Amino acid sequence: MSSTTVSISGQGLNSPHLCRVDLSRGEAGTGLQIFLEDQSVPWWANAFPGEVSAQRTTILHHQGQNLRGMEHLSVALAAWPRADAVVRIFGGDIPILDGSAQPWVNALTQILGKSPGFALQKCNLEYEEHWPSGYIKAKPYHKLCINLSLGMWKGGAPMVCEINPGDFIPEIFLARTFITEKEWEGALKSGLLQGAQEDCGILLKAEKDHWGLAVGGAFRHPDEPLWHKCADLLGDLSFLGRQFPRLHIEIHNGGHAIHHKLMQRIRNVIT
């Protein structure tokens, strides 16, 4: 049986106060509707119409209001591409929970039933950009293929995620966010991550020739950090709508800021 509303509360990543998200099924044909606080009209529906910026997470800017860190919820919503879903957000931030999208998948399964898997749409984009530490290359493809690497992780060896329509890929949802001990200290000094707790992701510590876990138990996947980066990319892409572009994307040392540039290019060719 599916319940009508599932409420999830928790610490936001950037603010020390509690945030809450209520998820429920929408009226037939209404698609995805996002509300802030007690708004009676959706802040946005189906595809995010505003501006985005990056500060460790994606920040959505629309109608004079901002929302941080929705990408983990957004990638979970993409696993129900045609569902009528209402998301009501309280507190201006999204609970970070365990730092993965899995709690959102669990909640959405409760209200919407089993995921039918991802959906894809054609995307005629050729895009390539290089910066001092990395690059992105995107070109049309018959499915979505993400080839993702990080210089810091296993000498830059990539993970490959191939998505066909109807696929549900557990690794995407299970992978937790991560930070290195050095970045962690830097973020705290600059006033970021004030809401972060020990159990809301993984803390990587440098060992002789690899990264170990200072906090977070065991890796959920041998390449968990790469899979989380992949989830972040998919979460950002799903702000364009819950159909992923049929692209071959190669990305090295990426992050939200370059995802946003890619999103802008995709927006230009799909609308």
Residues making contact with Zn ion (CB under 5 A): 177, 232
**Whole-number Å distance between alpha carbons of 152 and 232:** 17
**Whole-number Å distance between alpha carbons of 61 and 59:** 6
Strand order in the sheet with 18-25: 5-11, 18-25, 85-90, 32-36, 44-45
Q: Name which of 76 and 125 has its Cβ closer to Zn ion.
A: 76
Alpha helices, H only, the chain: 71-77, 102-112, 170-174, 181-189, 224-237, 256-270
Q: Name which of 11 and 177 has its Cβ closer to Zn ion.
A: 177
Measured from the CB of residue 231, what is the shortest distance to Zn ion in angstroms? 6
Measured from the CB of residue 157, what is the shortest distance to Zn ion in angstroms? 21
Measured from the CB of residue 224, what is the shortest distance to Zn ion in angstroms? 12
Measured from the CB of residue 270, what is the shortest distance to Zn ion in angstroms? 24
Q: Name which of 25 and 71 has its Cβ closer to Zn ion.
A: 71
Distances (CA, A) of 5 to 23, 40, 245: 6, 17, 30
Measured from the CB of residue 266, what is the shortest distance to Zn ion in angstroms? 19
Q: Name which of 115 and 177 has its Cβ closer to Zn ion.
A: 177
Q: Name which of 14 and 177 has its Cβ closer to Zn ion.
A: 177
Report whether 36 contacts 89 (CB < 8 A).
yes
Q: How far is CA 227 from the centre of its chain?
A: 11
